Amino acid sequence: MQFRDLQKQYEVLKPQIDAAVQKVCARANYISGQEVRQLEQQLADYVGVKHCITCANGTDALTLALMAWGIGPGDAVLVPDFTFFASGETVAYEGATPLFVDVDEGTFNLDPDKLEQKILEVKAQGRYTLRAVVAVDLFGLPADYPRIEAICKKHGLLLLEDGAQGFGGTVNGRRVGSFGDIATTSFFPAKPLGCYGDGGAIFTNNDEWADLIRSYAVHGKGAMKYDNVRLGVNSRLDTLQAAILLVKLEAFRNSELDAVEQVSRWYDQALAGCGFALPHRPEGFTSSWAQYTLRLPAGTDRDALQAKLKEQGIPTMVYYPKPMHLQKAFAGTDSARADCPVTERLCETVLSLPMHPYLTRDAVEQIAGKLR
Ligand SMILES: *Cc1c(COP(=O)(O)O)cnc(C)c1O
């Protein structure tokens, strides 16, 4: 059994993917080929925003958004403490200071009350110019955007949606990628919509930021490629990856998103009443189920449980074992100062189970049976 079965997915989509790859190879237009523009158009339409700019990975997508906003030394950005490193790393790499905010125990996402508390605290201290909030759609569930957008607006802060894990999720019918002022996603193979390597995208309705990001992503280009009006980076999505993503986006919309929802329901049924805290389903929210993550009862020997399951051929993962503010990379900085007891508890008790669109009901029953 695999944690996320990408081989099975390829088996199912093989004829279309092979044809798409061959077409690109025959044309040999490997960089910025027509599939890239086609994909950007389809992604923008699906998400419901004006601009989609693809780039080399989800980390660059965050970086390019921060560059467009000119976030740098002296600025602070609020980031959830329970997330993948890149959500805060990119802020620090731009020279700004990520300050970490605790999450909600049930949704694993930014706690709006603690966010507002932290905003007031940072503003009162006056050490930094507070510029933006990064909200993460952890494990596929969108953050609480109705509240977070209102809080950011009230306090004059930019909102960056890190939708690396959330692509396909919705809040009251609105799709991930459309929240905040700029949203980003990742096409890393194991994400809800993954390519066959690294890839990422940026979404926004703002024309000016979209133009800036297109420039920053290609060496700060001006009117043409050899007219360089600012310092940028080289961050593009390969034509081959775009061609593969066009096939995978169709499968994602037609069946895969429904399939993971079904798998999550099977898990819910099979694990109900066993003492595990199962993923929350807030009213009006849908998840793209990047992970199915439960919380173990306090005091469970998680290492032993994982070892036992592994012996039975069941792979599990711990996302994430360490709060952001305790990462060594932030030691001795203001980023290390955070009051995040919920995140600390989650890091001790979470466990993610195999999850992908091709997981069968039998497999889910087997996993749940062993867990019970
Ligand atoms: C995967 C991930 C990223 C980074 O994406 P890459 O494509 O791997 O660079 C950023 N934020 C979150 C929350 C992620 O899960």
pLDDT 10s digits, 241-274: 999 999 999 999 999 999 999 999 999 999 999 9
> What's the average model confidence in pLDDT over 189-197?
98
Ligand 1 nearest-atom number relative to CA 59: 9
The best mutation among 84, 187, 319 to test binding of ligand 1, ranked by most ligand atoms within 8 Å of the C-beta, falls on 84
Q: What distance in angstroms lies between residue 370's CA and the mean position of ligand 1's atoms?
A: 31
Cβ pair 367, 352 in contact under 8 A: no
The finding on whether 165 has its CB within 6 A of some atom of ligand 1 is yes
Average pLDDT, the chain: 98
**Which residue's CA is the closest to the ligand 1 atom numbered 14?**
164
Beta strands of 228-363 (E only): which ranges?
285-286, 292-295, 350-353
The finding on whether 83 has its CB within 6 A of some atom of ligand 1 is yes
Output the pTM of the full model: 0.98
Backbone angles phi, psi at 298, to 5 degrees: -55, 140
The finding on whether 80 has its CB within 6 A of some atom of ligand 1 is no
CA distance 274 to 297: 10
The pLDDT value recorded for residue 21 is: 98
The finding on whether 188 has its CB within 6 A of some atom of ligand 1 is yes
The best mutation among 4, 55, 59, 193 to test binding of ligand 1, ranked by most ligand atoms within 8 Å of the C-beta, falls on 59
Q: Is the pLDDT of residue 365 over 90?
A: yes
The pLDDT value recorded for residue 225 is: 81
Tens-place pLDDT, residues 108-131:
999 999 999 999 999 999 999 999
